[in-house]
Amino acid sequence: MSYFRAVRLYSAFESLIFTALLVTWIGGMSAHAQLVLGWIHGVGWTCLCAAVAIGCRRGVFPWWLLAATVSPVGPIGSSIGIEILHRQRMSSPASG
């Protein structure tokens, strides 16, 4: 599995955790669930930022993706950015 694909999958997973955290917080659900999801998201987001930064240093990702990842929208920003990059790579003549 390529580094790009691994980070793409991890970003999507982290987006799901972030969404679950938002749903439990907005829905006023269990405080314990909010705490657990908050910690999972916090540690996961930090790891995602590190993975994207490593990818930027290796030349796998452009530096603007790191900015999207550390933005307030976090993993959703990185997922959108990675999908944009994926679609650009799929439509370029060199990919086929």
Q: Within 10 A of 3 (CB to CB), how many other CB atoms are there?
A: 13
- For 24-38, write each residue's pLDDT tens digit: 999 999 999 999 999
Give dist(CA 82, CA 14) in Å, integer: 13
Q: What is the 8-class DSSP label of residue 61?
A: S
Residue 28 zone, left/alpha/beta (φ > 0; ψ -120 to 50; rest):
left
Q: Within 10 A of 38 (CB to CB), how many other CB atoms are there?
A: 14
Side chain identity at residue 78, one-letter code: S
Residue with tokens 């990702």: 61
Are 73 and 14 contacting, i.e. CB atoms less than 8 angstroms apart? no
Confidence (pTM) = 0.86
- For 46-67, write each residue's pLDDT tens digit: 999 999 999 999 999 999 999 9
Could you list the residue range(s) of the whole structural domain that residue 70 is in? Answer: 3-95
Q: How many domains is the chain partitioned into structurally?
A: 1
Burial 52-65 (b: 16+ CB within 10 A, else e): bbebbeeebbeeeb
